[in-house]
Chains A and B, each alone.
Chain A
Amino acid sequence: MLSELTSGQRQAALIFLALVACVGLFVAGFGGADPIAAHGWLVLGVALISAFAVLTRFHDPEPVADRSGSYYDAPVKAGIILAMVWAVLAMFVGDWVAWLLVDPELTFSEPWASFGRLRPVHTTGVIFGFGGNALIATSFYVVQRTCRVRLAGHLSPLFVLWGYNLFCLLAVTGYLWGINQSKEYAEPEWYADLWLVIVWVAYFVLYLRTLARRKEPHIYVANWYYLAFILVVAVLHIVNGLALPLSWAQAKSYSLFSGVQDAMTQWWYGHNAVAFFLTAGFLGMLYYYLPKRAERPIYSYRLSIISFWGITFFYMWAGSHHLHYTALPQWVQTLGMTFSVMLLVPSWASAGNALMTLNGAWHKVRDDATLRFMFVAAVFYGLSTFEGSFMAIRPVNALSHYTDWTVGHVHAGALGWVAMITFGAIYASVPWLWKQKTMWSPRLVEVHFWLALAGTLIYVFAMWNSGIIQGLMWRTYNESGTLAYSFVDSLEAMHPYYIARAVGGLFFLVGTLVGCYNIWMTIRASRAAAVLEGDHPAPRPALETGS
C-alpha cells in the first residue's frame, strides 16, 4: 500500500503516527485508574505498530511522479479486506449472543461476556466495521470511476480508512470493558466520538475534492447517495453525540439532552442511521454495481433522482415512530408515522428501478451468483421497507414494538439487503481490482449465496414467528381482566425460535467465511500471475510515455 506514497508522504505519515502515539501515551498517563487509560495504551500500541509497518517499507521504490493516469485502488483493496475481517468477527459475536439467548448461562460468570456488553460489539462490528468499511471502499471505487479521475489525495484516503478502523476498535474494546454511552448505535464515549468527527470531516472533504476534480460533467446518481450518506451521518453523529465528559481524563460523559428530548434526539439519530448509513450509502452501491454487473443502464435514471430526494427529505422526519406510546407528544409520533408511510414511495421506486433494470437480463441473474446477490438485495430492500412503513403505524407498533418482530425486521434489512448488496459489490470489485477475469471459484460464490439466503430466511422467519407470538401473549387477557401469561411464559414460548435464529445466523456466518476464503484465493492467484508475468528472459525496452 505504501508503494503509492512518495518519501515525503511516508515521512508525513510517520510524523502523524508519532503525534497519535503521544496522545495515546498522555491519555494512558493521565487516565490513571479510569478505563480511558486502557484506550490510551490501545491507541499508543496501534500507532506504534502502524509506524513500524511504515518504517519497514520506508525505502521501497517510489511511485512514478505523475500518478493521475491511474486510479488509486490501494485504499479500496484495504477497505474490502477490512470489511470482510470485521464481517467475520462481528457475525461470530452475533451468533454467540444468539446462542447466549438460547442458554443464558454461557457467560462464564465474566462481565465482558454478558449480553449487554457483547451485543453492541455485534451491532457496531456489523454496521460500522463491516458496513462502514465496505461503504468507504466502494465509495472510493465508484467516485473515481464515475468521475474518471484519481482520488484527490494520497494520504487522506489512508487516514480515513485507518482512523475509521481505529474508531471501530475503540468502540468494541470499550464495550467489553464497560465503556458505553448507552445510546443505541451510538454507544462509543465522547473521545471516540470526537475522533470520528475528525475522520469523517476528512472523508467528506476528500469526497468533495474528488468530485470537484471530475472530468465527467454530470455527477452520477450513485455519488449523490454516497454524499448524502457522508454529510448526514456527520450531522447526526455530532448532534446526538453532544455530551459533557466528567473530565478530560475520564471516559464517562453525560448527554446534553435529557428526558424525552434525549429519547427523541437518539431516535432521530437512530432511524437516520438506518436511513443514511444503512440505506443511502448502500443505494449508492446498488446504483453503480447492479447496472454495471448486469451490463445494462439503470431502468430509469429520472426515477433514481426522484427517489433520492424523496428518501433524503422524508427519512429525516421518521425517527419518532420508535417512540409510539411514550411520553413523546402524540402529534410528534403521528408525524413520524406519516412520514414513515410516505417513505414507501421512494423506497419502492428504488427497489422497482433495480428490478426493472434486471428485466431482460434474467438469464444473467440465473447464471451469475454475484448478480443474484444484488437481485436478492433489491427484493429484500423492497420487502423490509414495506415492513418498516407498516410497523411504524401506531396500532401495528402496539403489537410489534419491544418484540422479536423488530429484530426480524432489522435483520431482513441488514442480512437480506445490506449484506447481500455488499457481497454482490465485493464479488464484482475483487476481480476488477486484483486484475482477474473472475473470482478464484465462482462455485464458492454460489455456495456463499445459498448459505446467506438460507441463513437469512431461517433467521427472519424465526423472528417473525417469535415476535408475533410474544406480542400476542403480552396482550392476552383472561376473564378476570388480568394478563393471561407471565413474561417467563412468553420467554419459554420463544425458546425454539431462538435456537432456529442461532442456526440461521450460523449459516450466514459460514457463508461469510467461504467468501473470505474465495477472496483470499483470488488475491493469491493475482500475486501468482504477477510473479509469472515477471518471469521473462529479458525486459522489454522502456517505452516513452505520453508520446
Chain B
Amino acid sequence: MTVDHNTLVYAAKTVGLFYLLAMSLAVLIYVFWPRNKQRFDAAARAILDDEDGPWR
C-alpha cells in the first residue's frame, strides 16, 4: 500500500478529526467533572504554602 495524498487527506478527515474531537471532549469532561473541582481548588491554593520542606 502506498501512502499518497488522498490516503492522508482521508485519514485526516476521519481518524484525525475524531481523535482530536474525542481528545477535546475527554479533557473538558475531566476539567468540569464536579468532583474534581475541590481537588483543583486545593491544588491551586496548596503551592502558596510550601516552603517548610518535604513532608515526612
Contact = CB atoms under 8 A, between A and B. Distances in A.
Chains A and B belong together in one complex: yes
Contacts of B51: 145, 432
Contacts of B28: 306
Which of the four size classes fits the interface of chain A?
20 to 34
A149 B54 CA distance: 5
A524 interface: no
Contacts, number: 75
Interface in B23-56: 23-24, 27-28, 30-32, 37, 39-48, 50-51, 53-56
A298 B37 CA distance: 14
A402 interface: no
Interface in B3-29: 5, 9, 12, 20, 23-24, 27-28
Contacts of B42: 218
A68 to B, nearest CB: 6
Contacts of B24: 309
A221 interface: yes
Contacts of B56: 68-69
Interface stretch (A24-32, A40-48, A245-253, A288-296): A288-296
A297 B5 contact: no
Interface residues of B, number: 28
A313 B48 CA distance: 29
B53 A301 contact: no
A302 B32 contact: yes
A335 interface: yes
A71 B56 CA distance: 12
Contact of A298 (B5, B44, B50): B44
A148 interface: yes
A331 B40 contact: no
22 contacts: A68-B54, A69-B53, A70-B54, A144-B54, A145-B50, A145-B51, A146-B46, A148-B54, A150-B54, A215-B55, A218-B42, A218-B43, A220-B43, A291-B47, A292-B48, A297-B44, A301-B40, A301-B44, A302-B37, A305-B30, A305-B31, A432-B51
Interface of B: 5, 9, 12, 20, 23-24, 27-28, 30-32, 37, 39-48, 50-51, 53-56
Given A68-B56, A145-B47, 4 more contacts: A70-B54, A222-B47, A297-B44, A302-B37
